[in-house]
Structure 1
């Protein structure tokens, strides 16, 4: 599997598009906004730049992309106007892998500029946007050119599927039944990727620049804990059902593993310390209910909520699943997945765990 080519969210504006199924990601951005606002406020007050460069890594497409950036700019503008400083020129880099629906972002920019200018007033300086397709496990921007880097719900994706997962039978990610060699392979790949990510960003950030990263993770030190693996274990169950129905071959399932890792705060802190370019300002764990669309506990609301979970997982995972299993099974797979999720949510209240870290590049 060439992750660089197949990893992207569902584009467009259809029923299964990321644009229409990213309320979870929006909620997480809102939950972690105070950390980003604290960081960008501190950066502006300590440097007072006349040109401010912001990069959003793993921007995807849809309403969340420009919303996250606009909130960062608003925070700086509120401070700037209170200090009666001159207008700032903003340069915004929007990064994702080449398969991302950048066209949807570019089409949304004229309306965004018009509405944002009305909201912020005539004193707002130029806001210049650039799309930057490419992997963040490599260099993206010129040396010492970026002031602030933001990334939400992207960095848990690895650069590749780890090697040595042949014994991870009937699983698609780490699970309680995964042998120790599989857990080690995943952790080793995370270490390599996260260290490379930090080295590249250290080259690109100005001295004293900030970075705020939020990714799916876990509070437990157990990499197979339910809080990070459960949603994928249920998808594996649905895929095993599809195998039992003869819709795909068992060998096809056993050769599929996800290129992702959901770390603990300790694991992230260790790699940050080893790489040595950044100071950790704060690291925070937050949780959000799977049932993000509504909190109605009645059976009909719960059933709709379960299928909504399957829809937003489809918006995220479908392209990579199609690349391996083909498109023909997708409707049946996600119907079955939704049924499994509804059943589990009727018995428990599972949550996604988020790890957010605020970093400053050492001078």
Structure 2
């Protein structure tokens, strides 16, 4: 992604690996599923408060933004529907609402894999539930839905992706592919300003689309530290940078292309999330929490990955998790040669990650925000 790459093209290549194969996101998204499970109590609390404040309408509209594909896309929906059902069962005269579910991601997302599983998903639900599922391709940094049409918005491990790599980063961040301890201060500031702009746009659009009193639960890959170049801010990318720089020094990949490659991602602190919510002004913060999850969670079994881990070391599944996310970006940037060298990139990366996991404490940091739309929002 050089600086001439238009935003629309960045949006087209920013997607997870499709399908259900060994390097697909569907097979390598146990980390994301674990985080969804960890944040379930916060999501359920938000749904309960929604019900308390307005009662469930006859048609409950829910959006999962950045749904990707694979088991997690409908995992969130299933949890939510069942919990609403339990809340209704607690009250004698509460009828199940019709569920209008909107699954959103960028146009390059593998929506077909999701749609193929919808029928079996609906069959597994209680037949009393009426569930209507729609795919909504597009960037959540713009408008996606009619005004006052949504009651609940969920987004997990998506909002740390930026709409673009800031131009200043491309020129000044050589030797790195993300925010790193060796990045100039200007690079860190440019990433932060892009986060401010993007998250501000997200909040503004959702403020229009949510009904008054509607709620959101947003989970970021983030950091505890207020230092933007802290180890938490992108250590997983720093290790990928090591593998890529090794290959560039050996002439396997082009050094100039590597110097212009940067990951469009910002991992915010809770303070930074809070500041943008308050600045935009349409939402109240009900909860803002931080949690940790070990890199080793990637070594659990989602689709036969334990055997692979035993044969290849602790870093193998972590590398596959990152590959499922980053491979489309790498292939798009490095061109035809990127396809040929991608296995070597992640072979080296897995070895580096294995070594670090054996000798260091390696964790992802989650920042979770539960928000409610104020009854009287600022003018849009």
User: How many residues are paired up?
Assistant: 354
1:142 equivalent in structure 2:
146
Q: Does the CA contact (< 8 Å) of 1:3 and 1:259 recur in 2?
A: no
In structure 2, the partner of 1:90 is 99
Which residue of 2 is the match for residue 130 of structure 1? 134
Corresponding residue of 2:158: 154
For residues 267 and 293 of structure 1, the distance between their equivalents in structure 2, rounded to whole angstroms, comes to 28
TM-superposed CA distance for 1:125, in Å, is 3.0
Rounded Cα–Cα distance in structure 1 between residues aligned with 2:180 and 2:311: 26
1:60 has 2:68 as partner: yes
Instruction: Provide the aligned C-alpha RMSD in A.
Output: 1.3
SS class of match (1:164): helix
Q: TM-score under structure 1 normalisation?
A: 0.95
Aligned-pair distance for 1:301?
5.3
Q: What residue is the counterpart of 1:350 in the other structure?
A: 362
**What residue in structure 2 maps to residue 332 of structure 1?**
344
Match of 1:113 in 2: 122
Query: Which of 35, 51, 58 does residue 44 from structure 1 map onto?
Result: 51
Does structure 1 retain, via aligned residues, the 8 Å contact 2:26–2:70? yes
Contact 2:299 2:317 in 1 (8 A): no
Q: How does 1:21-36 map to 2 (within 5 A)?
A: 21-36=28-43
Deviation at 1:305, TM superposition (A): 2.3
Runs of 4+ in structure 1 off by over 6 angstroms are: none
1:146-176 CA-to-partner distances (Å, cap 9, x unmatched) read 0000000000000011121212111000111
Find the partner of 1:239 among 235, 239, 244.
244
* Change in 2 beyond 3 A, CA 1:162/1:327: same
Q: Distance between the aligned counterparts of 1:265 and 1:226, measured in 2?
A: 16
Task: Report the Cα distance in structure 2 between the residues aligned to 1:305 and 1:78, rounded to whole angstroms.
Answer: 40
CA distance in 2, matches of 1:263, 1:126: 37
Written as runs of structure 1 = structure 2, the 5 A alignment for 1:1-363 is: 1=1, 2-48=9-55, 49-84=57-92, 85-117=94-126, 122=127, 124-165=128-169, 166-294=171-299, 304-325=313-334, 326-363=338-375
Task: Give secondary structure in 2 for the equivalent of 1:328.
Answer: helix
After the TM superposition, which of the residue ranges 127-136 and 341-350 deviates more from structure 2? 341-350
Q: Gaps spanning 5+ residues in structure 1: where?
A: none
TM-score scaled by length of structure 2: 0.91
Give unmatched runs, 5+ long, in structure 2. Answer: 2-8, 301-308, 376-380
